[in-house]
């Protein structure tokens, strides 16, 4: 999960044909956000970045379907009209990017949003970004930098400064800490979704384990966040930095909202109140990554699958399932309408959703696609292919021949993915339990395997010395920001082996897939099913070829066998 934006939300852009509208549409689209339309009065019928432009929000809704979010890029005096139009059309989340929106207009938008049960972020906001899932507004500037700077993880960020939202996430990422969602609440004195409201959303988000709040002097946003903690409405750890320590009463500190008036909203007052309510205070901005790491390390370890499935009682004859719900004219996979998912997400994303219950980001979908492509087929010699083709040559129907192939995927063929995944997980667990670096834990593991004379699953290949699929998968995981502890440990084990034995035992495709499944939070027991799912189309192709190109009852390797049993007796 993530808050406010993910890969499924359908996004509209008001003011799409303006200078910023065009530039940021490119950012959002390239980052994987589902931008489905834009609105500029008088420009209906045109396109921006291949996205259709409409004259009104209602027309856009009628033509492209449900709109979950509208991002507004129209000049400040026109924001009120644009926002009211979006709320009136039924959009429940707005992001108001412009600065200098008149405060009375903001109050009117607030009232309309409350009436319609809608929410808005901003005004004067850089927007919202969920790493690897989507971005609303201007956060990251361009998709390439947004991908470079941030990676997915368990820390939520809420900030009153746009630049510091990105900087906080950037410095956390440099320290190896990923983010769930970055929210810039906006720099004005009145904003639609202040810190406390963002904290309530993070409280509900399973993915977020800790929140970093970048506060400022002025307004009562930080005090409200402290009150929320005191009332038990926010119970996750909160790391806080408050800017403006040196500002004197009456001076405005950068943003319109950052001003101390009549002794209210001071730095000291905010820090004292938050500390009293249990927040971790960073005195200097540079301390945020260290404090965050220390607090995260104290939290209980989470297993790859966050929620254990509910077990049915043995005497319960009533079937329950959390996978798919069927009603008349409505099919829902893990809560999502299948007809809405169709054409919006990839098959790989749907597989992830079916298996884990969570809709993955577009980037996870891309990486899963690559995994499936990497293992789709590997010639006629693998045991599963031989089994499938042999069965097919006997006249077995497709289902039987393909099943023969699938039944041949076991510990010694395809099974290395799960073994490798468990190997990497055990090395990560021992690094954590013994407070060791990844390199030290990897070296101990390699020594233990060498002493027992065991093979390292996921390393070395009977044919390839540098499996081309491995480099591609790991390169993609780095580029997409998905490579995490799993990939780091895989590389540490490869390096430790080379160092200790004096020869290279390169990672093979099973090892690469194993590490990526860890970093995509997929459970070990499903590891080999990814190989089965990947190989299924290859087996179908092989069986089809056998049936259509070969004579039945084919003699496979007719000369390459001999009898070495007892002599005639
Ligand atoms: C909002 C803002 C980004 C617009 O800047 P811009 O893109 O340069 O402005 P433009 O005039 O080129 O484009 C605005 C577009 O909105 C359109 N527009 C006006 N009213 C509209 C409405 N009700 N609905 C939809 N579009 C509307 C205009 O027609 C124009 O499109 P056009 O150029 O095709 O005619 C700018 O005014 C602003 O506030 N910038 C600061 C943003 C910022 O720093 N935020 C805080 C970050 S921390």
With cut-offs at 50, 70 and 90, classify the pLDDT of residue 311.
low
As a three-state string, the secondary structure of 88-141 is HHCCCEEEECCCCCCHHHHHHHHHHHHHHCCEEECCCCCEEEECCCEEEECCCC
Give the C-alpha separation, 47 to 60, whole Å. 13
**Ligand 1 midpoint to CA 213 (Å):** 29
What is the model's pLDDT at position 562?
Answer: 76
Summarize pLDDT for 32-82 with one digit per residue, the tens.
Answer: 999 999 999 999 999 999 999 999 999 999 999 889 999 999 999 999 999
Q: Is 310 in the pocket of ligand 1 (CB under 6 A)?
A: no
Substitution site in 12, 16, 21, 71 for ligand 1 pocket (most atoms within 8 Å of beta carbon): 21
**Ligand 1 midpoint to CA 114 (Å):** 25
Burial category of 561 from C-beta neighbours within 10 Å (exposed 0-12, middle 13-18, buried 19 and up): exposed
What is the model's pLDDT at position 320?
Answer: 84
CATH numbers and ranges of domains, the chain: 1-124 (3.40.50.720), 150-299 (3.40.50.261), 341-556 (1.10.230.10)
**Ligand 1 midpoint to CA 86 (Å):** 15
With cut-offs at 50, 70 and 90, classify the pLDDT of residue 305.
very low
- Which of 22-31, 302-311, 411-420, 547-556: highest mean pLDDT? 22-31
Give the C-alpha separation, 128 to 275, whole Å. 27
Region at 566 (left for phi over 0; alpha for psi -120 to 50; beta for the rest): beta
Nearest CA owner, ligand 1 atom 29: 40
- Whether the per-residue pLDDT at 361 is higher than 90: the answer is no
Give the C-alpha separation, 109 to 106, whole Å. 5
What is the model's pLDDT at position 165?
Answer: 97
Nearest CA owner, ligand 1 atom 27: 15
Q: Is 356 in the pocket of ligand 1 (CB under 6 A)?
A: no
Q: Is 38 in the pocket of ligand 1 (CB under 6 A)?
A: no
Average pLDDT for residues 244-248, to the nearest whole number?
76
In sequence order, the β-bridge partners of residue 34 are 10
- Whether the per-residue pLDDT at 324 is higher than 70: the answer is yes
Q: Give percent of the chain with pLDDT exceeding 90.
A: 74
Summarize pLDDT for 396-437 with one digit per residue, the tens.
Answer: 999 999 999 999 999 888 888 999 999 999 999 999 888 899
What is the model's pLDDT at position 532?
Answer: 96
**Contact yes or no for 70/45 (Cβ under 8 A):** no
Give the C-alpha separation, 269 to 250, whole Å. 16
pTM of the model: 0.62
Give the C-alpha separation, 64 to 13, whole Å. 13
Taken in order 427, 432, 434, 437, the sign of the CA dihedral is positive
Catalytic: 255? yes
With cut-offs at 50, 70 and 90, classify the pLDDT of residue 344.
confident
With cut-offs at 50, 70 and 90, classify the pLDDT of residue 252.
low
Q: Give percent of the chain with pLDDT exceeding 70.
A: 93
- Whether the per-residue pLDDT at 250 is higher than 80: the answer is no
- How, if at all, do strands 51-54 and 34-39 pair? parallel
Summarize pLDDT for 288-299 with one digit per residue, the tens.
Answer: 999 999 998 888
- Whether the per-residue pLDDT at 310 is higher than 90: the answer is no
**Ligand 1 midpoint to CA 77 (Å):** 10
**When comparing pLDDT for 147 and 167, which is higher?**
167
- How, if at all, do strands 238-243 and 179-184 pair? unpaired
Nearest CA owner, ligand 1 atom 12: 18
Give the C-alpha separation, 392 to 396, whole Å. 5
**When comparing pLDDT for 251 and 154, which is higher?**
154
State the DSSP code for 487. Answer: H
Q: Which of 126-130, 496-500, 507-511, 556-560 has the lowest mean pLDDT?
A: 556-560
Q: Is 156 in the pocket of ligand 1 (CB under 6 A)?
A: no
Nearest CA owner, ligand 1 atom 37: 75
Q: Which of 26-35, 316-325, 407-416 has the lowest mean pLDDT?
A: 316-325
Give the C-alpha separation, 393 to 388, whole Å. 9
Average pLDDT for residues 502-516, to the nearest whole number?
93
**Contact yes or no for 385/543 (Cβ under 8 A):** no
**Ligand 1 midpoint to CA 129 (Å):** 20
Substitution site in 48, 60, 73 for ligand 1 pocket (most atoms within 8 Å of beta carbon): 73
- Whether the per-residue pLDDT at 246 is higher than 80: the answer is no
- Mean pLDDT (the chain) is 91
For 265, residues 6+ apart whose C-beta sits below 8 A from its C-beta are 217, 218, 219, 220, 259
- Whether the per-residue pLDDT at 247 is higher than 80: the answer is no
Tokens of 539: 């087996």
Give the C-alpha separation, 138 to 19, whole Å. 13
Give the C-alpha separation, 488 to 364, whole Å. 18
Substitution site in 20, 43, 138 for ligand 1 pocket (most atoms within 8 Å of beta carbon): 20
Give the C-alpha separation, 505 to 489, whole Å. 15
Give the C-alpha separation, 556 to 561, whole Å. 10
With cut-offs at 50, 70 and 90, classify the pLDDT of residue 514.
very high
Q: Is 330 helix (H, G, I), strand (E, B) or coil?
A: strand
With cut-offs at 50, 70 and 90, classify the pLDDT of residue 472.
very high
Nearest CA owner, ligand 1 atom 42: 98
Q: Which ligand 1 atom sits closest to the C-alpha of 39?
A: 25
**Given the residues 195, 255, 413, 544, the one annotated as active site:** 255
Q: Is 74 in the pocket of ligand 1 (CB under 6 A)?
A: yes
What is the model's pLDDT at position 167?
Answer: 96
Q: Is 129 in the pocket of ligand 1 (CB under 6 A)?
A: no
**Ligand 1 midpoint to CA 201 (Å):** 29
Average pLDDT for residues 504-525, to the nearest whole number?
93
**Ligand 1 midpoint to CA 38 (Å):** 13
With cut-offs at 50, 70 and 90, classify the pLDDT of residue 309.
low
- Whether the per-residue pLDDT at 567 is higher than 60: the answer is yes
What is the model's pLDDT at position 313?
Answer: 63
Summarize pLDDT for 184-204 with one digit per residue, the tens.
Answer: 999 999 999 999 999 999 999
What is the model's pLDDT at position 302?
Answer: 52
Summarize pLDDT for 82-107 with one digit per residue, the tens.
Answer: 999 999 999 999 999 999 999 999 99
């Amino acid at each position: 999960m993530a808050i406010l934006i993910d890969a499924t939300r359908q996004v509209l852009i008001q003011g799409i044909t303006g200078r910023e509208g065009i530039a940021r549409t490119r950012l959002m689209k390239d980052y994987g956000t589902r931008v489905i339309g834009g609105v500029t009065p008088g420009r209906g019928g045109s396109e921006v970045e291949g996205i259709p432009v409409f004259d009104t929000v209602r027309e856009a809704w009628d033509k492209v379907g449900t709109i979950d979010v509208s991002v507004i890029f129209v000049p400040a005096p026109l924001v009120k009209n644009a926002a009211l139009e979006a709320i009136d059309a039924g959009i429940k989340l707005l992001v108001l990017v412009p600065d200098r929106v008149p405060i009375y207009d903001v109050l009117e938008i607030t009232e309309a949003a409350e009436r319609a049960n809608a929410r808005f972020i901003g005004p004067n906001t850089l927007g919202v970004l969920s790493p690897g899932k989507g971005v609303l507004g201007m956060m990251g500037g361009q998709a390439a930098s947004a991908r470079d700077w941030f990676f997915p993880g368990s820390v939520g960020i809420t900030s009153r400064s746009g630049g510091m939202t990105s900087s906080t996430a950037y410095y956390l990422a440099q320290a190896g800490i990923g983010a769930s969602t970055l929210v810039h609440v906006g720099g004005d004195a009145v904003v639609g979704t202040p810190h406390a409201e963002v904290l309530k959303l993070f409280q509900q988000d399973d993915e977020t384990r800790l929140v970093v709040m970048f506060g400022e002097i002025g307004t009562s946003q930080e005090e409200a966040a402290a009150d929320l903690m005191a009332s038990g409405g926010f119970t996750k750890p909160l790391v806080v930095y408050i800017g403006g320590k040196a500002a004197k009463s009456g001076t405005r500190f950068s943003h319109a909202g950052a001003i101390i008036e009549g002794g209210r909203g001071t730095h000291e007052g905010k820090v004292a109140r938050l500390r009293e309510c249990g927040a971790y205070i960073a005195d200097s901005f540079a301390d945020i990554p260290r404090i965050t790491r220390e607090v995260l390390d104290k939290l209980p370890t989470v297993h790859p699958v966050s929620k254990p499935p509910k077990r049915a009682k043995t005497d319960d004859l009533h079937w329950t399932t959390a996978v798919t719900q069927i009603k008349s004219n409505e099919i829902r996979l893990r809560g999502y309408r299948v007809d809405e998912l169709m054409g919006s997400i990839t098959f790989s994303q749907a597989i992830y959703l079916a298996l884990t219950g969570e809709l993955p980001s577009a980037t996870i979908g891309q990486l899963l696609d690559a995994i499936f492509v990497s293992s789709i087929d590997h010639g006629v010699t693998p045991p599963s292919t031989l089994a499938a083709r042999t069965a097919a040559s006997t006249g077995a129907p497709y289902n039987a021949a393909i099943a023969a192939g699938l039944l041949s995927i076991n510990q010694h063929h395809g099974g290395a993915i799960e073994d490798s995944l468990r190997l990497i997980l055990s090395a990560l667990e021992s690094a954590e339990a013994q407070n060791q670096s990844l390199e030290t834990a990897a070296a101990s593991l390699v020594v233990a395997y060498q002493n027992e004379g065991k093979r390292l699953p996921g390393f070395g290949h009977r044919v390839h010395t540098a499996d081309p699929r491995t480099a591609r998968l790991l390169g993609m995981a780095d580029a997409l920001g998905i490579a995490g502890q799993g990939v780091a440990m895989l590389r540490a084990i490869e390096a430790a082996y080379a160092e200790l034995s004096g020869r290279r035992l390169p990672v093979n495709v099973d090892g690469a897939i194993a590490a990526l499944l860890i970093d995509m939070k997929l459970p070990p027991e499903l590891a080999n099913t990814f190989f089965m799912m990947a190989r299924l189309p290859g087996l179908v192709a092989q069986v089809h070829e056998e049936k259509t190109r070969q004579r039945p009852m084919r003699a496979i390797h007719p000369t390459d066998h001999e009898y070495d049993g007892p002599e005639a007796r």
